[in-house]
Amino acid sequence: MSMAVTVPSGGGQLRRLGERDRPVVTITIDGAEHEALAGDTLLTALLTAGHRVRESEFGDGPRAGFCWMAACQDCWVWLADGRRVRACSTPVEPGLSVLTRPAAPGDA
């Protein structure tokens, strides 16, 4: 018998309706801890935790992913180590720290 876990749906664009029996993974998004499920992509974690993936660097507002299959350029986010990754194809990992905008010069 599997034990279901409770993962808050937050106020995000995505809500889990069913399948929740995977282990909970804690990640950090812009300095705040959020829970995701093992096997989630960053895009799923970002959209269940909030209302956007990032702000467009070209000034046309919030972005929420577009193709969901790593073919477009809409879901780029930054990891705390400075790497830029596609949220739609990057799996969550325990302790992962993601930024929805690049760190400003001099940020530590």
Predicted TM-score (pTM) of the model is: 0.74
What is the model's pLDDT at position 8? 44
On whether residue 13 sits in a domain, the answer given is no
pLDDT digits (tens, 9 = 90+) for 23-33: 999 999 999 99
Residue 89's CATH number: 3.10.20.440
Residue at 15 is within a domain? no
List the Cα angle 66/71/74 in 5-degree steps.
Answer: 40
Strands (E), the chain: 24-29, 32-37, 54-55, 62-63, 76-79, 84-86, 97-99
pLDDT tens for 74-91 read 788 999 999 999 999 999
The amino acid present at 69, given as its one-letter code, is M
Residue 16 belongs to some domain of the structure? no
Query: Does some domain include residue 66?
Result: yes
Domain extent, residue 80, equals 24-99
3-class secondary-structure state, position 49: helix
Tens of pLDDT, residues 14-60: 677 777 789 999 999 999 999 999 999 999 999 888 867 766 666 66
H/E stretch holding 47: helix 42-49
Per the structure, the count of domains in the chain is 1
